[in-house]
A and B are shown apart, each in its own frame.
Chain A
Amino acid sequence: MGKKAILIDITKCVGCQQCAIACKEENNLPDIEETKLSATAYTVVEERGDHYVRRLCMHCNEPTCVSVCPVGAFDKTPEGAIIYNENKCIGCRYCMMACPFQVPRYEWNSTTPRVQKCRMCIERIQTGDIPACVQACETGASQFGDYYQMLQQAHQAIKNEPDKYVNHIYGEKEVGGTSVLYISDVPFEKLGFKTNLGTMPLPDLTWEALSKIPSVVLVGGTLLYGIWWITNRRKEVAEFERKIKEQEKESKED
């Protein structure tokens, strides 16, 4: 079971919402039409001008949510899916704050709230099936398969029709790459995609600071102890000298 990917060809999406409907069915979510991602809509097709953009968890290669969760409630499976363990979650919502794609949603009106998002239909793909949304797609706008094959296919599509597609696979390099890939006939920034994310995996940024902790503790601890030792020694010496003076005084007086 290797790494998987979902490839979304924006030029082929007609906005039929079949993926969103199938997703709700698969995940037993309330059957209401939603236009934005929510705790009860793991994928939606958004209208952006004359284009349709399907949104879902990007399933990052180096996921921010996995790295920021203090209790490790997020995991990345070997298939590449990011899954959430609601039994660990304490509800700090750092995953939502940190996600560069603003995907995780919260059950704000619950007293036992959970973070909700697409799970890439992990149970289905582990048994060799494909995600419900991809299966429901009738135009071939969403495809599912081996990660490298999908990437290859995206490159091939751009190469075959360079006049049609922009030369950018969104998700190939963004924040270290994602398991959801997009190709499009208009530049991604015009479709509301965040194109300022850079190629560096975001967890590297916090690791830069976190990895310094052992040296801060060691150097800091030693330094503080050293300073105390010196100032304390000075105090002792001063006291000792004073005692000697007193003794001298006393012996003179005697």
Chain B
Amino acid sequence: MVGVGIEIEKLCVGYDKNRVLHDIDLEINSSEFVALLGSSGCGKTTLLKSLSGFIKPMSGQIRVNGSDVAQLPPEQRNMAMVFQSYALWPHMTVRQNVGYGLKLRGMSKEQINCKVDELLVLLGLADFGDRKVPNLSGGQRQRVALGRALAVDSPILLLDEPLSNLDARIRLSMRHEIRSLQQRMGLTAVHVTHDREEAMVMADRIVILNAGHIAQVGTPLEVYEQPKSNFVATFMGAENEIALNVERANGTLSISEQEAVKAASLSVSNEIGDGGVNWQATAAGSVRGRFRSSAAHLLADGTVPEGHLALAGRVTQLSYPGGVFRYEIESAGQLYMIDDPCRYAVGDAVTICVPAGGLHLYSEAA
């Protein structure tokens, strides 16, 4: 079974007068794993429900293999879905749950048994075939739900936060299991999640949604290293914010000295990984900078290496989440979270040091 491509064009979805999705354009390639990422209420689940047919869009097209399915009922779309609640039928056994789609397709008992056995072995459920759903653990239910979706050989797999109800440890192994199954079978997968890390490790491409609009589409590396907007940067973990004054000349930025910030000259990035600043602002002048707590480090004295943004501050709080210390630094009335392996005490004067490659710059208004 080989996946098929999906093209979404100008899709608008809403309930009553309430618009949830605005003019969504998205192309999903055959056999691609796409994660829809966003905080709750951003419209990611609505987009998945529009794909699966449980919500009729107000306008726009959803083309599968070239033909528009936007107005078809769910049973005619041939997209297998794994629900967040698993939605397993409690009055049926594991075997009946997995085989239901096959029964609907008019397969014979032997064929169904054969296919179901194969899937149960694949998912490590061989001994549970005759159990009723209420007698299964969360992880087992999730496998049954996955088995039910895989059984019908649908080219498109829709995953609605399927891992959010699992224990942290099982969740980590299921990520890889689902990903490898999808790759082995060549399925086109659309995965809804609010978990950034989950999206990063599972997906080929990530679609970040914000208030019913697509904020950015890109590979995990792209959305992490070059967030196109202030929103995406924040969502991808660049929580520290700083107002800067910059001049731009050719490939370099010069940051002017202000309060705690030292003057510096930084190179602008041309491609990911070249160590330059991610410049997304429209014009020089006063811009908004963002950086991750893990991208920066602390210095005890003021000798800042070349190509770093430096700002003087004082430790106000510290914690130890594991591996490094997490410091809250106060600098010119602003608070920053910085990770650093070296030990400082509360009240120590330090310098926050942000390498050019860890800095993202946006226009003030955006």
Do A and B truly interact? no
A interface list, Cβ under 8 A from B: none
B interface list, Cβ under 8 A from A: none
